Structure 1
Amino acid sequence: MTHTSFATTTRGLNRDLPPMRLYEKAKKLGIWNPSDIDFSKDKADWVKFTDEEKDLCLLLLSMFVAGEEAVTLDLLPLIQAVAQEGRIEEEMYLTTFLFEEAKHTDFFRRFMDEVAEAGTDLTRYHSDNYRQLFYEALPSALNALRVDASPANQIAASVTYNMVVEGVLAETGYHAFFTMLERNDLLPGLRKGISLLKQDESRHIAYGVYLLSRLIAAHPQEWDNLQTQMNTLLPSAIGVIGDAFARYQIVPFGLVEEDFVNYAMSQFGKRFERLEKARGASLDEINRVAREAEEI
């Protein structure tokens, strides 16, 4: 496909669009280096952990590092779909996604190599529910955009990636790490990296809410598709949490399964309410709400 014009020499860039505002934040806040994080205290803490405490940490780490690798591998079709529509402001912001997801993969693997000395065979921690989401649903939804970048497929991809993988599972995982480690002042390097990573992911989720809101506002007939996709994937996401707790007779660090299921459902419900408000809204209204949202 050839070009007939360029936005930067015909209309310029709309710096007031929510994706461009997120791009500004990414340039300012997203430039951190996993190699700069000090793991010396983490190494001292790790050797004092019980076998079950180490096992729970490795379980979470194995799910995070594989999940970050999965989105790094599978993200390109979404960027391409947005680019093909000429949405240069959104594409500019999406270029930061790939860098950040790769950086998150780097961070978790570095901790696993230098602190946990985890080895490489960690797939035993990936339950059927986890595999259903990360081995099947995520690549399937995103790669469908290679052959059909319709609004329906864009909705399916963003729901899977931004709303469920990031908005439910990743955020619940951060909550687990901080609940385990913050109150006991353990693994400060891991906590530092996760706090920076969480900042990156909050921008990703904000864009996902914006993208889905824009698509639903323009294609209200796709609401049932969005709702079905979210409700279809939610049981597997909650199942991942249940699978983790089922490994232990006494859960390390005093974690309580109900707390994390409730947290996951709360995150899901919060985003679902935002998306419901997009039905029947104008694009100007979508942009205004996104700019005013806490994430932006």
Structure 2
Amino acid sequence: MGVRHRPRRFHGLADALGILSAAYTGLALSTPTQRARYATISEQGLDWDSVPMRLFQKAKRLGTWDPQAIDFSREVSDWAGFDATEKDFLLRTVALFQAGEEGVTSELLPLIMAVADEGRIEEEIFLTSFLWEEAKHVEFFRRWLDVIGVHEDLEKFMTPSYRRLFVVELPAAMDALKTDHSTEAQIRASVTYNMIVEGVLAETGYHGFRESLEASGKMPGLLEGIRLVSRDESRHIRYGVFLLDRLINESPVGWDVMNRHMNELLAPAMGVISEFWEGYDEENAPFGQRMETYLDFASTQFDKRMKVLERDRGKSLAEIERAAIADLVADDAAVGAAG
């Protein structure tokens, strides 16, 4: 099983000079990449009505919350009131989110580069907000852990299925984009990142937090952060569906690549959930929760993503854009009605 390593440290001046010399030699021998054009000063400009630019406008309105501003004043006293099993449940959930958010933050750059190299400036612009928001999610979960005084190594909570997805599948799919910008490689990356990690696992995790804590009114700071993180991720998933729709539209084998990879990763995704519950007594589970409801919720999220992709299969890019914009308008209307 692959393990991601930290960058090597310098061991003395000679080592450092040797690495710098090799890097300089490589730069001197390489041919500089030249930008062919600047889209925003051409007749093209920016497509303000495109899906990614609409998402970017939403990100500017809704994604500027500050993890440091969330009120955690009740977290310590609420934490002290939980029993050992409840603490384990919350800590296990947050640990998997913390590692996952660090993972998706670290792994997003190759997709941004692939999109940028294709000259898709609107998507590149949106993805800058996407990356910034993921970094804030890392900050939020780590701040919560620090507030309640947890400084131990939490890697023990990473189960085999979790490791397969976050230590093997996610880095492999995203790292492949460093050398392969093919439509098929981008499909595999988006399926792994947007559909499975964000669209199935993260969505199920948010549901778990709400089901466990909302009724009791406990951990209001954690729940507020989850609400904000979930709102950010809804934009990320919307982009991921649009990206997959576009990529499938571009390749005669795109649907088959997507469908195969979605189904390949469904088993480890469900395994993350079932393995999470292995340490709990089903008849006396923390917060009255049951594994079956989590598995059902995750399965529903998977089916929701597939239904949208099936709806848009065979459509032109213009039709895909119109359908995605209609979805965004419906999202806004639903939020307005709820508010």
- Both proteins in one fold, TM over 0.5: yes
**8 A contact 1:206–1:295 mirrored in 2:** no
Shift in Å at residue 97 of structure 1? 1.3
For the residues of structure 2 that align with 1:44 and 1:92, how far apart are their CA atoms? Answer: 42
Larger Rg: 2
Provide Cα deviations, 1:103-144, integer angstroms capped at 9, x if missing partner: 0000001001112x2213000000000000001100100010
Aligned counterpart, 2:17: none
For the residues of structure 2 that align with 1:174 and 1:77, how far apart are their CA atoms? Answer: 27
Report matched runs for 1:61-140 at 5 Å. Answer: 61-115=94-148, 117-140=149-172
If the length of structure 1 is used for normalisation, what is the TM-score? 0.98
SS in 2 for 1:175: helix
Aligned counterpart, 1:251: 285
For the residues of structure 2 that align with 1:49 and 1:185, how far apart are their CA atoms? Answer: 13
Match of 2:297 among 256, 259, 263: 263
Provide Cα deviations, 1:240-287, integer angstroms capped at 9, x if missing partner: 110111111131001011111111011110110111123211010000
Matched, 1:36 2:83: no
For the residues of structure 1 that align with 2:159 and 2:246, how far apart are their CA atoms? Answer: 34
Matched, 1:50 2:83: yes
Aligned counterpart, 2:323: 289
Report matched runs for 1:193-208 at 5 Å. Answer: 193-208=225-240
Counterpart amino acid of residue 156 in structure 1: R
For the residues of structure 2 that align with 1:141 and 1:65, how far apart are their CA atoms? Answer: 20
For the residues of structure 2 that align with 1:248 and 1:265, how far apart are their CA atoms? Answer: 21
Shift in Å at residue 295 of structure 1? 4.3
SS in 2 for 1:280: coil
Match of 1:212 among 226, 244, 249: 244
For the residues of structure 1 that align with 2:95 and 2:105, how far apart are their CA atoms? Answer: 15
CA 1:295–1:204: 2 relative to 1, 3 Å: farther
Provide Cα deviations, 1:64-115, integer angstroms capped at 9, x if missing partner: 0000000111110000000000000000000011111110000001001112
SS in 2 for 1:149: coil
Give the superposed CA RMSD.
0.9
Shift in Å at residue 218 of structure 1? 1.8
Count of aligned residue pairs for this structure pair: 295
Aligned counterpart, 1:224: 256
Provide Cα deviations, 1:213-239, integer angstroms capped at 9, x if missing partner: 011112132211101110011111111
If the length of structure 2 is used for normalisation, what is the TM-score? 0.86
Match of 1:237 among 263, 269, 278: 269
For the residues of structure 1 that align with 2:130 and 2:276, how far apart are their CA atoms? Answer: 28
Q: 4+ residue stretches of structure 1 with deviation over 2 A?
A: none
Shift in Å at residue 5 of structure 1? 1.6
For the residues of structure 2 that align with 1:220 and 1:290, how far apart are their CA atoms? Answer: 21
**8 A contact 2:75–2:147 mirrored in 1:** no
For the residues of structure 2 that align with 1:161 and 1:261, how far apart are their CA atoms? Answer: 19
**8 A contact 1:19–1:89 mirrored in 2:** yes
CA 1:161–1:81: 2 relative to 1, 3 Å: same
Could you list the runs of 5+ residues in structure 2 that have no partner in the other structure? 1-32, 333-339
